Structure 1
Amino acid sequence: MDWLERINRAMDYIEQNIVGEIDFKKVAQLACCPEYHFPRMFSSMTDMTLSEYIRRRRLSLAAFELQNDTNVRIIDLALKYGYDSPDAFSRAFKNLHGVNPTAARHKGIELKAIPRLSFQISIKGAVAMEYRIEVIDFDIEIVGVKKKVVTKDAFQVIPQLWGEAAESGLLQRLIDMSWENPQCKMEGILGVVGKQAAITDEEFEYLMGCRYTNEFSDDMEKMVLPKSTWAVFPNISEAWQRLYTEWLPTSGYELADLPCIENQLAPDRVPSSELWVPVIAK
């Protein structure tokens, strides 16, 4: 119930600020979810992005205004609902409703109403969520290259970073390094997400690296994580989607003050990736 109250509190904030500026960091804070993870959690529950929901909700309210006040100006509605120009507003309006704003003034025109979202208790768990708990009782040394990532763009930017790493040769260097002294358990190519599991800043550093204890080149740097407990989930994408809505609320664990790690395993491994989430018992 606590989780349900938090997510609905976030939706209340969006609705209260649907006309004007919506602070996505504030939305995530109200849901008690890291800003980096909230958009994916929202998408997994609703089958639409948070930005898409807000856009559709605003255009729905604009349609109501056009029907109820035939004197309202298109330019005023465009500015009210966050569009830089009447043309941009009209294109978005037509994409959703199938008609332009001028036609929407007339009675008998079919429009789409996008209601305010609220979340209720539903039955979960029909599909098992596999995980294991790993206790690593020594410091983890990770060597790699850090890149700045804007939090709200993370899920689009990080795959691009790995694509660039493959083209530049960095990925192959990390693969070669990882085989010099293979480490047990967390042995793949690693993406270390920021400094804490709960990312609240507008940007964070994403380290592309591997566990490594030998000398390394000047363009790389080392991160050392203290001994800790990890919940490990197969398949990174699915794990992010279900972590906050299904596993964490009922697990008896909470997030530890360490970064989450995306672990890419060898191509012949099944699964091919793992999400390592730092946890402590409640």
Structure 2
Amino acid sequence: MTATVSNYHARMQRVLDYIDRHLDDDLDLEAVSRVAAFSKFHFHRQFVATFGLSLHRYVQLARMKRASRRLAWNDAESVTDIAMDAGYEAPDAFARAFRQRFGQSPSSFRRSPDWAPWIAALGPLDNARNKLMQIIFTRDDVTIRDVPPMPVAMIEHRGDRATLGTTIERFKTWCKARGLSPETGRPSLMVFRSERCPANPADYSMDLCVGTDQPVETNDQGMRAGVIPGGRCAVLRYPGNTNDLEPAALFLYRDWLPDSGEEMRDFPIYCQRRLSLAPDASTPEVFLELFLPLI
């Protein structure tokens, strides 16, 4: 990364840090652009180009995330106070916006949070923050584990990566109908059988899997039973929720493996995505682990 790009990223990171610390303030375009030392006439386009969403939407999502945490964690706070702090003048306006975004009313979420739509709704916020992450991996980040075999329900995607979204939707629909949504705590896996961007797009290949011990019959949606084989694996945990695991995979293949003295097994590298809710946490954490099977 050049010094110029690094400086640009530092200024944008300063903006995100400022927003986090000043969610109760008037975070208008002029105030935030001054933090980054950018012209307000260009800052909006710069923000969208960098993070993939507007400043207004980013602030809305950040305030909603804080509000949902307070609802889930602190029963002593009234919904009215939480609504006002989230920038709404009345509780009913906050309730409508909350239900539209998360699929539950604030009171229902407080009683029994449904984390699946919560994670989906806040995905753009997490993705925006991940865009500035410069992950540096070291050998100490890799552990070698004996992994037990895992029965899964799986669907194969073969062909242009541009059509992967359709396969993902079929997979999600099937999982949700059977109570196997990864957001319920089921491990979700992606088996990468080709490069992320092969020379011929038609050669792109991956499997989408969800861990289950239920019988799985082959059906017209393309789902079938499978097994992720057990054995020794080099495991690299990714500190965030992202769909771009290319840097982590490159580190394992290019840097860690040649220096490790290990040899790869005849099974592709795969990723496992899990939902973790620690006893003292108010909201769940999604974490990723990349597995490189070893002999």
Instruction: State the TM-score, normalizing by the size of structure 1.
Output: 0.40
Q: Which structure carries more relative contact order (alpha carbon 8 Å, separation 6+)? A: 1
TM-score, normalised to structure 2's length?
0.38
Richer in helix (by share): 2
